[in-house]
Structure 1
Amino acid sequence: MSHPNRERADRILDAAGELLLRMGYRKVAIDDIARAVGIGKGTVYLHWRNKELLFQALMMRESADLTDEILSAVKADPAMILPHRMISASFRTTHRRPLVMAMLRGNAEMFGSMGDLALRKQQDELRAQFEDTMLRHGLVRTDVPNLSFAINATTVGFYFGGTLTDEFDGIPLEARADALAHVIRTAFEPAGEPDPEAVAEVAAELGAALEELVAGYRNGIYAHDPTRAPG
């Protein structure tokens, strides 16, 4: 059964997202959000005690939805767990979510303070687990120095490399995603076809870890739910 306070929280987040896209993070005030939902400012503060926490909740909701999308793809085809497929799928999905792109691109100062340390710790542990599991099952190369850093830096380059110049504006999203998949595949994965059994084991193990991450996000969204705890 959905709870009215949950529904109100979601309406607040929907309005915050629309305003973020229209005005940018710095310009959006709690007043604007309350007005858009048709409630008093005090009611917004019942859910989140400041703007930063509200936008963190919005980011968590987007991240949970995005991760759920990747999870369904892995369930339908375990080979989606391979780094080049998962990273390029995530790239496509992220670019189709204007809110996530806005938060990644224009709001680094908010992104840098994505407060919830427990969640950040969970994300770091998940990254380490991914690398460890992939290495253990032979799905990534063992001769790449600082593997995590290298994969991360490469991926981030695909998100931001095109923003420094307009030279690449004409390259469609699909073509960018394909280029990213190719680079990850050739730079970080062993040559030849991966062992289907290893792929299935990794998909099961990492799928479960991603489900836990989503549960953490979903809890975090409504952490200040007025029905659960005061303030």
Structure 2
Amino acid sequence: MAQQNGGESRRLQTRMKREARAQHILDAALNLILRNGYDKTTIEDIAREAGVGKGTLYLHWTTRETLFSDLILREKIAMAEDIRQRLGSDPEGATLHSLLKHAALALLQRPLLKAVLLQDTVVFGKFIQREQNSAISTQVLTGFTNYLETLREQGLVRSDLTPHLLTSLFGSIFLGFFLAQPLLPDAMALSKEKLAELIAETGQRTLEPSDPAPSGALHIASQALTQYLDHSVGKAQEQLQVGAQAKSEEDQLLIHRPIRARGRKGGRSKLLKTTEQVAQARHLYADKTRSIQEICTVLGISRATFYRYLRETQKDEA
């Protein structure tokens, strides 16, 4: 029993160390992408900034795209948690104008997500297009539309506007202020707090009715908002866990992979056996940001094996 407990303790420590290292690498990636932009940030740059080898970085992410996707997911989770805490201490936290205010304040603390929201191609290049159209972004938008429908049913927003128009106006108000700020003269610059207050006031005057809120409406709206935020966080965490689980399973396959036999009939066995491995090889080769040696390191194969696979694939496609 003691030996079993000791093994579990070591595995826990290994997982904690691995997670801490992953967060450190993500922090390094965050600094670089905000400084240089996505297109100019390479795997080598991130490894150097984090003080780790490229091989160590590849233990966590096999492509630059998956690393940045996880970085964005991490920031989304942190922002949702921040909004939830801010709303929890606000008596009117479930109202639309309160959500606008606290969402603005939370976003202003996260320049990476601000760049995502504003589709800043200087920071993200072409990567931003995939992020805006991702499945999780679509799911979050659907959840937010459902929350607005609850507000509409409870008389907390204008009933003459459809949920689609409410969502469109909400986004226009929120995005409009952020897009306008860089275009205004310095003399018209606003503090973060004042900007958030103006966004909230505009939302209140535009979207909310002038009559007092019905009794019990805020409680129902609060439940709907909590459900929406929980769902958003849950989806992001689920996607992160799926990626981590897939990487863990891949590591186990590499650890337990049998040594290639020499001198047997038919020569060495091919290592790219499954469709998943073939797909990964194609993706890495098409990425164009890695050398052949780096690709071989990720796949755990020799250069000769990779070139043989490449020739065979090109013959099949021809």
Q: TM-score, normalised by structure 1?
A: 0.88
Q: Which position in structure 2 is the counterpart of 1:100?
A: 113
Instruction: Could you tell me which runs of 5 or more consecutive residues in structure 2 were left unpaired when the two chains were aligned.
Output: 1-11, 252-318
* Cα offsets for 1:17-45 (capped at 9, x unmatched): 11122222221111111122222223323
Q: Would you say the 8 A contact 1:12–1:44 is kept in 2?
A: yes
What CA distance in whole angstroms lies between the structure 2 residues aligned with 1:83 and 1:101? 20
Change (3 A) 1:26 1:117: closer
SS at match of 2:92: helix
What CA distance in whole angstroms lies between the structure 2 residues aligned with 1:172 and 1:14? 26
SS at match of 1:143: coil
SS at match of 1:54: helix
SS at match of 2:249: coil
Matched, 1:134 2:151: yes
Task: Select the residue among 237, 240, 249 that pairs with 1:229.
Answer: 249
Q: Would you say the 8 A contact 1:140–1:189 is kept in 2?
A: yes
Counting aligned pairs with the same residue, the percent is 27
Deviation at 1:190?
Answer: 0.7
Amino acid at match of 1:25: Y
Deviates more, 1:87-96 or 1:216-225: 216-225
Task: Select the residue among 102, 115, 138 that pairs with 1:121.
Answer: 138
Matched, 1:164 2:159: no
Q: Would you say the 8 A contact 2:38–2:125 is kept in 1?
A: no
What CA distance in whole angstroms lies between the structure 2 residues aligned with 1:98 and 1:190? 33
Matched, 1:11 2:24: yes
Deviation at 1:74?
Answer: 2.8
What CA distance in whole angstroms lies between the structure 2 residues aligned with 1:168 and 1:207? 39
SS at match of 2:93: helix
Q: Which position in structure 2 is the counterpart of 1:190?
A: 209
Q: Would you say the 8 A contact 1:135–1:142 is kept in 2?
A: yes
Deviation at 1:108?
Answer: 5.9
Change (3 A) 1:168 1:183: farther
Larger Rg: 2
Change (3 A) 1:196 1:79: farther
* Cα offsets for 1:22-74 (capped at 9, x unmatched): 22222111111112222222332332222222112111111111110111223
Write the mapping of 1:36-51 to structure 2, written as runs, cut at 5 A.
36-51=49-64
RCO (CA 8 Å, sep 6+): is it higher in 1 or 2?
Answer: 1
What CA distance in whole angstroms lies between the structure 1 residues aligned with 2:241 and 2:20? 11
SS at match of 1:194: coil
Q: Would you say the 8 A contact 2:147–2:224 is kept in 1?
A: no
Deviation at 1:107?
Answer: 2.7
What CA distance in whole angstroms lies between the structure 1 residues aligned with 2:70 and 2:215? 38
SS at match of 2:126: helix
What CA distance in whole angstroms lies between the structure 2 residues aligned with 1:224 and 1:94? 25
Instruction: Could you tell me which runs of 5 or more consecutive residues in structure 1 were left unpaired when the two chains were aligned.
Output: none
What CA distance in whole angstroms lies between the structure 1 residues aligned with 2:216 and 2:124? 42
Q: Which position in structure 1 is the counterpart of 2:194?
A: 175
What CA distance in whole angstroms lies between the structure 2 residues aligned with 1:113 and 1:167? 34
Q: What is the aligned-residue RMSD (CA, Å)? A: 2.3
Q: Would you say the 8 A contact 1:162–1:168 is kept in 2?
A: no
What CA distance in whole angstroms lies between the structure 1 residues aligned with 2:89 and 2:215? 14
What CA distance in whole angstroms lies between the structure 2 residues aligned with 1:187 and 1:5? 48
Q: Which position in structure 1 is the counterpart of 2:275?
A: none
Deviation at 1:153?
Answer: 1.4
* Cα offsets for 1:153-211 (capped at 9, x unmatched): 12110111122343565222222211111110010001133235111111112202211
What CA distance in whole angstroms lies between the structure 1 residues aligned with 2:48 and 2:140? 35
